[in-house]
Amino acid sequence: MGTGVISTVAGNGARGFSGDGGPATGASLNGPLGVSFDSGGDLYITDGGNARVREVNQLTGSISTVAGNGTIGYSGDGGPATAASLNAPWGVAVDPTGNLYITDIFNDRVRRVARSGCIDPGQTPEACDQKVIDIEVDLSSPQGRGSAVLRWSTTREMSLTGFNVLILDRAGHRTQLNPITIPCMSCSTGLGRDYSYVVPKHKGGRHLFVEMLCADDCPSVWGPARVILPNAPREKHSSLSRSR
């Protein structure tokens, strides 16, 4: 039975939009209208005036946006939910499999956010994939003799927490080159970013891979990197092979 004591779990009392990535009690909301919980205890809030749906993580107490880009309107079906426009999101519910449903009042619609982070209908999974692409190692690094620069990009970042740079031999033995995790830069925004890491004393015959670290299950190891020789032109290319 509860104690009858009231407390604030989200919002700092200042109307506006701020605080994603930090404590929910330090974040600004703008007309919160509805709440719901998922099976893990995470709290979902329809932040109506911000045209967003926010999530409060039950374990960390941090807040993030899971749907809505802050622009009032209607757009985004089939793409990342955080890039979609909503118009007065009011109610919110979570089904047993983790899909999120939002009553988008002034669009006269109910929007569904799949567990992948895509908003329905007409979901195109390829547009919503969380990938590492364009992995290349540049041997013309100015960082010192024998060093190289590893570069890669992400298509979008939802459950991403960071990266490791690995050498994998043919037998699958791995050597981690970064002493600490390389942090993600967009994390749960649904956007993609470009990254680089200086690899000391790299030997061109070694295969470099990028390991994607996620808060949930995701394709984890991407590569190998394409070697860029000194003074050779750089060309972008499609996503590389992946393993788990």
| pLDDT score at 202 | 67
| pLDDT score at 240 | 44
Average pLDDT over residues 167-189: 86
Contact indicator for 188, 175 with CB cutoff of 8 Å: no
Rounded Cα distance, 1 and 228, in Å: 64
pLDDT-derived band at 146 (thresholds 50, 70, 90) equals low
Average pLDDT over residues 116-145: 71
pLDDT-derived band at 78 (thresholds 50, 70, 90) equals confident
Q: Is residue 231 scored above 90 in pLDDT?
A: no
As a whole-number percent, the residues of the chain with pLDDT over 70 amount to 82
| pLDDT score at 50 | 97
- Specify the higher pLDDT residue, 236 or 163: 163
Predicted TM-score (pTM) of this structure: 0.57
